[in-house]
Amino acid sequence: MAENTPARTIADGYATDGAALELGTVLVDGVCDPEARVRIPLATLNRHGLVAGATGTGKTKTLQALAGQLSDAGVPVLLADVKGDLSGMARAGERNEKIDERVRDTGDDWTPTAYPVLFLSLGDGGVAVPVRATITQFGPILLAKVLRLNPTQESTLGLIFHWADQRGLPLLDTKDLRAVIQHLTSDAGKADLKGIGGVSSSTAGVILRALVNLEAQGGDTFFGEPELEPADLMRQIGGKGVVTLLELAERAANPMLFSTFLMWLLAELYEELPEAGDLDEPKLVFFFDEAHLLFADASKAFLDRIEQTVKLIRSKGVGVFFCTQLPTDIPNEVLSQLGARVQHALRAFTPEDQQALSRTVKTYPRSDVYDLESALTSLGTGEAIVTVLSERGAPTPVAWTRLRAPRSMMAAIGEDEIRAEAAASPLQEKYGEMVDRDSAYERLTGRIASGPGGDAVPVGAPAPPPGDAPPPAGATPQAGGTPPPPQPQDSSEKNWFSKIGDFLQSPTGRQITNTVTREITRSLFGTRRRR
C-alpha cells in the first residue's frame, strides 16, 4: 500500500475517472513525488482557467504543454502567439538533460511529438495566412475599445453604426467607416447628422482622427473581407485537434486590436455554436494571452459584457484560459468564473507587488501544507501553484506542482518554414487575398451607378432595377424628370414584376438581397448577427 504522505494526500484530490490533462506532480519541501499526479479533468475545462506569472517563469511552456495534450485528445486549440515563440509546436521536441530530469520528477513517458498547426496572422504583413473581420461584424463596442474612445464617443460611434445599418451601407473596411463619418460631418450630411440625434460634429471628428491613427498603425490591413469564420478553428487532422497559432503581424502592431480581436472571436463562437451543456471534453479551448490589454481602461459596460460572455460560453462547450502576469489584471467578476488556476512565480519588489501577492493568496483554498505567500515568491521556473475543479465540481487542494515538459520543440521555427506551412494551408486560398466589394465607401463616393444614365445612387439607397421599369403606383416623379409613358395596367404590372424577378437574380440584386437579409440585429457585444 502506498505511503500516505502529504504529497499523496494532495494528489488524491486530483484523482479522475475520465480523461484528464496531466499537469505534473506534487512537490513538498523541495521533494517531488512522481506518483503524486496533478491533473485537470477534460470535462471541467469549459469552466475556464487562468495561467499567470511573472516574465520568465515558464507560462509559455505551460501553454505549450496544455495545448499539446489537448491536441492529442482531439480537442482543437486557439493560441495567441504574441511573441512568436510557439511555432515550434509544429515540430517534435528533442530530448536533453533538462528534459530527462523533468521526466524523472514528473513520471512522464515523454515522447517527441509534432502537432498539426495552423498559422494565422492578424491582417496583412505577417508570414502566415491573413485573417480579418469586417467593421460591421466587429461592431461599435469592440471597435470603440480599439480606438480608445471614452463613453460619450463610444455612444456616438454606436449611433453612426445605427445610421449606416438603417441606410443599408455595409461597413466592411476602415475606408467605409471613414467615408460615413466624413459624409456626416460634411455640408451634404448635416441633415443626416442632425437626424441621428445626440451626435456632435466635433465628437464625430474625434472618432475620425482615431480611425485614421488606427489605419496608420496597420489596422486597415485587418478590417475587411473575406472575414474569418470561427468554424475554421475547430478542426481535426489525423485524430489530433488542430492548434491554431494567431500572430500579431508587424503592420498591425496594435496589441489592443489583437486582444479585442480575440474577444470578437469568442463572442462569435458564443453566437454561432449550439448549446451543448456539459461534455466529456470541450469542443475548443481558447487561450487568451496578454489578457490585461483587454481589461485595461475598459468601461463597466464592456466588462459586464465580457463577464456575461465568459459565463455563458461554457454551455457551448468552449473553454477559455486567460493568460497574464498578475491575477489582479483580471476583474473579480471574471476571475470568479475561472475554475482552474496555474500560478507561476510572482515578484514582490514594490508595495503594489506585495498588495497583489496578498490578494492572490486570498483567491486560493486554504492550505495546511504550504505557506502560500512564501511559496508564490519561491517557485522555480516550470513550477506553479495549482488548484482546479474536480470532476464533481469542487476545488482541489492547493498543489505546488512541478510541471511536465512540452513534447514539441520549445523554440520558434524559421519564418520561411511558417510561410511554407501557410502556403500549403487549405485556408490560404480562402483568406489569402483581401476582397474589396461595393460597400459604403463606393456608394457614398458615387461609384455605384443606376440605370443607363449612370447617376449616383442616393446615400444608402440600393441601385434600382436596370431598364425602364416604371416607379410603383402613386410615386411622384423627381423634379425635372420625365414621367414614364402610360401603359395598360395589366401589361405594366406583368412587366414590372417580371423585371423585379430578373433584377433579383442579377449579381447586383443578389448583393442587395444579401445585405437586406443580413441587416441588422446585433449581439451582446454589438457584433452583427449573420442570418
Which residues pair with residue 513 across a beta bridge? Answer: none
Rounded Cα distance, 71 and 65, in Å: 10
Residue 275: Cβ within 10 Å count:
8
Cβ-contact 378, 88 below 8 angstroms:
no
Q: With respect to residue 404, please indicate whether it lies within any of the assigned structural domains.
A: yes
Geometric angle at alpha carbon 41, from 40 and 45, rounded to 5°? 85
- Please tell me the number of Cα atoms within 13 Å of 196 on its side-chain side: 26
Pick the closest to residue 22 from 39, 41, 44 (CA basis).
39
Pick the closest to residue 209 from 178, 236, 186 (CA basis).
178
Residue 356 belongs to what domain range?
6-132+228-416
Among all chains, which residue has been given the C-alpha cell 499523496? 8
CA 523 to chain CA centroid, nearest Å: 15
Cβ-contact 8, 33 below 8 angstroms:
yes
Pick the closest to residue 180 from 156, 163, 166 (CA basis).
163
Residue 257 grid cell: 486590436
Rounded Cα distance, 437 and 233, in Å: 25
Rounded Cα distance, 164 and 168, in Å: 6
Q: With respect to residue 367, please indicate whether it lies within any of the assigned structural domains.
A: yes
Among all chains, which residue has been given the C-alpha cell 444608402? 460
Q: Strand runs (DSSP E) across 279-406, as ranges?
A: 284-288, 318-324, 340-343, 383-387, 399-403
For residue 395, what is the DSSP state? B
Q: With respect to residue 218, please indicate whether it lies within any of the assigned structural domains.
A: no
Cβ-contact 25, 8 below 8 angstroms:
no
Residue 437: Cβ within 10 Å count:
11
Q: With respect to residue 127, please indicate whether it lies within any of the assigned structural domains.
A: yes
Residue 449: Cβ within 10 Å count:
12
Which CATH number does the domain housing residue 377 bear?
A: 3.40.50.300
Helix then strand then coil, % of the chain, to nearest 5: 40, 15, 40
Q: With respect to residue 486, please indicate whether it lies within any of the assigned structural domains.
A: no
- Please tell me the number of Cα atoms within 13 Å of 53 on its side-chain side: 27
Cβ-contact 346, 58 below 8 angstroms:
no
Residue 457 grid cell: 445612387
Output the pLDDT for position 515.
44
Q: With respect to residue 202, please indicate whether it lies within any of the assigned structural domains.
A: no
Output the pLDDT for position 379.
95
User: What is the domain count for the chain?
Assistant: 1
Sign of CA dihedral 16, 20, 22, 28: negative
Output the pLDDT for position 513.
45
Output the pLDDT for position 518.
42
Q: Cite the DSSP H helix spans in 73-189.
A: 97-106, 135-138, 140-146, 151-166, 174-184
Secondary structure (DSSP) of 226-278: SPPPGGGGS-EETTEEPEEEEE--GGG--HHHHHHHHHHHHHHHHHHSPP--S
Question: Exposed (0-12), middle (13-18) or buried (19+): which is 98, by Cβ within 10 Å?
Answer: exposed
Rounded Cα distance, 497 and 280, in Å: 55
Q: Cite the DSSP H helix spans in 22-167.
A: 59-72, 97-106, 135-138, 140-146, 151-166
Rounded Cα distance, 8 and 65, in Å: 23
Q: With respect to residue 498, please indicate whether it lies within any of the assigned structural domains.
A: no
pLDDT tens, N- to C-terminus, the chain (531 residues): 457 899 999 999 999 999 999 999 999 999 999 999 999 999 999 999 999 999 889 999 999 999 999 999 999 999 988 777 899 999 999 999 999 999 999 999 999 999 999 999 988 878 999 999 999 999 999 999 999 999 889 999 999 999 999 899 999 999 999 999 999 888 888 888 888 876 788 898 999 999 999 888 888 888 999 999 989 999 999 999 999 999 876 655 577 788 888 889 988 998 889 998 889 999 999 998 888 888 887 777 788 888 888 999 999 999 999 999 888 889 988 998 999 999 999 988 888 888 888 989 988 999 999 999 999 999 999 999 999 999 999 999 999 999 999 999 999 999 999 999 999 998 999 999 999 989 999 999 874 444 444 444 444 444 333 333 334 434 444 444 444 444 444 454 445 445 555 655 555 554 444 444 344 455 556 666 544
Question: Exposed (0-12), middle (13-18) or buried (19+): which is 24, by Cβ within 10 Å?
Answer: buried
Q: With respect to residue 458, please indicate whether it lies within any of the assigned structural domains.
A: no
Output the pLDDT for position 524.
58
Cβ-contact 247, 415 below 8 angstroms:
no
Residue 512 grid cell: 442587395
Question: Exposed (0-12), middle (13-18) or buried (19+): which is 125, by Cβ within 10 Å?
Answer: middle
